[in-house]
Chains A and B, each alone.
Chain A
Amino acid sequence: MKYIDEFRDGELARQLARAIAAEARPDRSYRLMEFCGGHTHAISRYGLLDLLPPPVRMIHGPGCPVCVLPIGRIDSAIELATQHGVVLCTYADTLRVPASGGMSLYKARAEGADVRMVYSCDDALALAAAHPEREVVFFAIGFETTTPPTAAIIRKAAEAGLTNFSVFCNHVLTPAAMVHIMEAQTDPDAVALDGFVGPAHVSTVIGYGAYQAFADRYQKPVVIAGFEPLDVMQSILMLVRQINAGRALVENQFTRAVSREGNLKAQALVDKIFTLRASFDWRGLGEVPDSALRIRDDYAVFDAERRFGLSYRQVADHKACECAAILRGQKRPQDCKVFGTVCAPDHPIGACMVSSEGACAAHYTYGRFRTAAPQDHA
């Protein structure tokens, strides 16, 4: 599989690193937010921070689908599985996210709830078709990348006339979150940002044109970047160049997969099934207007929230957990008091330690040697 090696070429990376070092001015800073957890993961896994000069600082963004899901939403999923007796189908990462009262979907399962891990939402639909006697609910999470497949199974369920299948929809929208982060820049605690490494897979669906209004309004450059380490390095160079030139354009580094318009067929399907929610509660960001999707009234029978009368209840994060500030880019994982001690991937307190795309999990797994305190020789 030659094409992998081309994106993992060490010499090319060092050339890009030299170019970034040469062009980044030492008298200013370049505070770049990588929106996606996929980028956070690539930066940590390939040790890219060591290749960046001091003026360039990477700030982790909120683009980890599991991390931004607030406790109240996990509580509702647990309610579905334990009180409504449904078969709850979910992607693996959500199983371990801590919920209220020390619960998690994993624990609910151990206590007898029928919670099943699926690799694809199609598996949930197939389960419903095979077991007409059971209520099957798919716990749908994620950004624009995972929304079209969810739309597709709802359409299929409608076509097949399934009456025992529904979706607990938690799909959220990237541009709305980016706008929210820029609006919060007036907060005195907010970290100032100079540019964005824009989403990779999300942009294959929505297209890079979707960020134009954002770049124009906030005068910040956005470079859509692939998830390979060389993609990230090249996009950082493109951002440094834009910032030096005082430009704020949307540029597309991920040309092999992203077009201006994106995937129009997928967009049409999403639009047919889903509509905007007035507001959605994000972990870390709080209530963000027009930032998530709900199932249209035409498909209300497939909406688990309506079918089971779920009501959302906001729940505060664990007192010691800094996930909220980390998701806003205000704090780094190592700034959290419980990082790496009480909170670790095997026993997470906050969602950022759960998913491999979470900033805390990435720093714990790949980067904590950089920030570990020297130990006493007692």
Chain B
Amino acid sequence: MSYSRPLDIKNGRVDLTHGSGGRAMARLIHDLFLRHFDNPWLAAQNDGACLPMPAGGRLVMATDSHVISPLFFPGGDIGCLAVHGTVNDVAMNGATPLYLAASFILEEGFPLADLARIVESMANAAREAGVAIVTGDTKVVEEGKGDGVFITTTGVGRVPDGIEVSGDRCRPGDKIVLSGSIGDHGMAIMSLREGLRFDSPIVSDTAALNGLVAAMLAAAPDMRALRDPTRGGLAAVLNEFAGQSGQGMVIHERAIPVREAVSAACELLGLDPLYVANEGKLVAVCPPESAERLVAAMRAHPHGREAAIIGEVIADDHHFVQMETVFGGRRMVDWINGEQLPRIC
């Protein structure tokens, strides 16, 4: 590379030249993305990554855009979230995530120091999840036309033959398993925005779940369905499964773990934890005979310590999701109605 001024990561800001295709953009790519993501496919610096074809099985591909505000929050930031989000979407197909592509939309004036923090966080998250960020894109928009940084990631993974994970496979009698407490991510963001303070702050659960999924598939290869309850929360996933499979669902409120600070924050803001986003949890549906084995395998994994059977699939022509409340009565758990919480992931 011919001489160009090194990136002033400490005090510099994103300007329009960083997206113009010239030397400044090459500098940004070299000093930040190549340096931190560090893998031979990206280092080849071609227009795309040329990757070895995995042998056998099927390819899974997923994409996810991240527009969260604020960019940094207790438990994570937009960088690791952008990796976890797509890694998890690939993993929820029963696949091993292999490669990611990352596309950045940067706003003019965004501090390079913040961008460097975000890129490092992405690199660490990718390393922990065992995936490589092999290609990407950078665009810069004028000040006021973005919100700091938006990141889109696309992931590719491989699902082995014999593993069939899909929401339409739920059958009456199947057990519904949840990997841990709900609402942590959404309420971490909301309590930050609303200035709520608790003795122990609410921390986002953002995490890559591909390791947990691998352990689950080893213990219960007959698992029917897997999904991570992000926007729309647990309620959305259960309604999706019910609609896809043409069955009903019954869950038990008492079995669903919710942290005390999360339920308190939900109460203050008039929210129901069933509808609040998570970024490091999953819901699995499995045949009843595999359920105990599955839960044991999950509890042995750091991201599944609080795993529990929370309900059952039932035959129901209406595809309703019902919940037995802590009082012993029943209510429906419908799709979320009205406005979602804005810009939470």
Q: A47-B327, A374-B317 in contact; A369/B267 too (CB < 8 A)?
A: no
How far apart are A369's CB and chain B's nearest CB, in angstroms? 5
In whole Å, how far is A169's beta carbon from the nearest beta carbon of chain B?
Answer: 25
A345–B332 Cα distance when bound, in Å, is 14
- Is A14 interfacial (CB 8 A cutoff)? yes
Distance A372 CA – B267 CA, assembled complex (angstroms)? 30
Interchain CB contact under 8 A, A47 and B330: yes
Q: Which of B304-330 contact A (CB under 8 A)?
A: 317-318, 320, 322-330
Q: Which residues of A contact B322 (CB under 8 A)?
A: 369
A321 contacts chain B at the CB level, 8 A cutoff? no
Question: Contacts of A14 on B, CB cut-off 8 Å?
Answer: 327-328
Q: Decide if A133 is an interface residue (CB 8 Å cutoff).
A: no
Chain B minimum-CB-distance residue to A363: B332
A252 to B338, CA, bound (A): 35
Contact A44 B331 (CB under 8 A): yes
When A369-B318, A369-B320, A375-B318 are in contact, do A51 and B328 touch as well, CB less than 8 Å? yes
Instruction: From B261, B331, B337, give the contact of A367 (CB < 8 A).
Output: B331
A331 on the B face (CB < 8 A): no
Q: Which of A8, A46, A377 contacts B331 (CB 8 A)?
A: A46
A364 on interface, CB distance cutoff 8 Å: yes
Q: How far is the CB of B39 from chain A (nearest CB, A)?
A: 46
**Pair A46/B264 contact, Cβ less than 8 Å:** no
Residues of B within 8 A of A134 (CB): none
The interface residues of chain A lying within 8 Å CB-to-CB of B329 are 46-51
Distance in angstroms between the alpha carbons of A13 and B324 in the assembled complex = 14
B337 with A48: CB separation less than 8 A: no
Does A26 count as interface, using CB distance less than 8 angstroms?
Answer: no
Out of B261, B330, B332, B338, name the residue touching A50 (CB < 8 Å): B330
B320 touches A372 (CB 8 A): yes
A48 to B324, CA, bound (A): 11
Docked-complex contact B337 and A345, CB < 8 angstroms: yes
B263 within 8 A of A: yes
Q: Tell me if A1 and B267 are in contact (CB < 8 A).
A: yes
A residues 205-247 touching B (CB-CB < 8 Å): 229
In-complex Cβ contact of A345 among B323, B338, B339 (8 A):
B338
Q: In the complex, are the beta carbons of B327 and A48 less than 8 A apart?
A: yes
Query: Given A10-B254, A49-B329, A375-B318, is A365 in contact with B334 using a C-beta cutoff of 8 Å?
Result: yes
Q: How many residues on the A side are at the interface (Cβ–Cβ under 8 A)?
A: 31
User: Which residues 285-341 of A have a CB within 8 angstroms of B?
Assistant: none
Bitwise interface map of A from 42 to 56 toward B, beta carbon under 8 Å scored 1, else 0: 001111111100000
* Interface residue count on the B side (C-beta < 8 Å): 24
A25 touches B (CB below 8 Å)? no
Contacts of B47 in A (CB 8 A): none
B161 within 8 A of A: no
A130 proximal to B (CB < 8 A): no
Interfacial chain A residues near B267, Cβ < 8 Å: 1, 4
A45 to B, closest residue via Cβ: B331
Residue of B with least CB distance to A354: B338
Chain A residues 350 to 378 lying within 8 A of chain B, measured CB to CB, are 361, 364-369, 372, 374-375, 377
In residues 13-69 of chain A, which contact B (Cβ within 8 Å)?
13-14, 17, 44-51
Q: How far is the CA of A92 from the CA of B320 in the complex (A)?
A: 28
CB distance from B311 to the nearest CB of A (A): 14
Report the nearest A residue to B334, measured CB to CB: A365
B199 CB, nearest partner CB in chain A, Å: 10
The B225-275 residues at the A interface (CB cut-off 8 A) are 254, 260-261, 263-264, 267
Q: Is the pair A10, B331 in contact by a Cβ cutoff of 8 Å?
A: no
| A-side contacts of B325, CB under 8 Å | 10, 45-47
The minimal Cβ–Cβ distance linking A50 to chain B, given in whole angstroms, is 4
Chain A residues with CB under 8 Å of B338's CB are 92, 345
CA of A47 to CA of B318, assembled, Å: 19
Q: Are B326 and A8 in contact (CB under 8 A)?
A: yes
Select from chain A the residue with minimum beta-carbon distance to B323: A47
How far is A229 from B329 in the complex, measured between Cα atoms in Å? Answer: 11
**B84 CB to closest chain A CB, in angstroms?**
29
**Which of A46, A346, A368, A375 lies in contact with B327, CB distance below 8 A?**
A46
CB distance from A356 to the nearest CB of B (A): 8
Residue of B nearest to A13 (CB): B327
Residue of A1, A13, A92, A367 most packed against chain B (CB within 10 A): A1
Q: Which residues of A contact B326 (CB under 8 A)?
A: 8-10, 13, 46
CB distance from B28 to the nearest CB of A (A): 39
Q: Assess whether B263 is in contact with A4, with CB atoms less than 8 Å apart.
A: yes
Residues on A with C-beta less than 8 A from B327 are: 10, 13-14, 17, 46-48, 51, 229
Contact A13 B318 (CB under 8 A): no
Bound CA–CA A345/B317 (angstroms): 21
Nearest-Cβ distance from residue A110 to partner chain B, whole angstroms: 15
Given A4-B263, A345-B337, verify A50-B317 contact (CB < 8 Å). no
Q: Which residues of B contact A10 (CB under 8 A)?
A: 254, 325-328
Question: Contact partner of B337 among A46, A47, A365, A375, CB < 8 A?
Answer: A365
Q: Which residues from B are CB-within-8-Å of A1?
A: 260-261, 263-264, 267
Complex A-B: 26 CB contacts under 8 Å: A1-B260, A1-B261, A1-B267, A4-B264, A10-B325, A17-B328, A44-B331, A46-B329, A46-B331, A47-B323, A47-B325, A47-B327, A47-B329, A48-B327, A49-B329, A50-B328, A92-B339, A346-B337, A361-B337, A366-B331, A369-B320, A369-B322, A372-B318, A374-B317, A375-B317, A377-B317
List the 10 closest pairs (A to B, CB-CB), nearest first. Answer: A47-B329, A1-B264, A50-B329, A10-B326, A375-B317, A13-B327, A366-B331, A47-B331, A345-B337, A47-B325
- Residue ranges of A at the interface with B (Cβ–Cβ < 8 Å): 1, 4, 8-10, 13-14, 17, 44-51, 92, 229, 345-346, 361, 364-369, 372, 374-375, 377
Q: Contacts A13-B327, A346-B337, A375-B317 given; 8 further ones with Cβ under 8 A? A: A1-B261, A48-B327, A50-B329, A364-B334, A366-B332, A369-B320, A374-B317, A375-B318
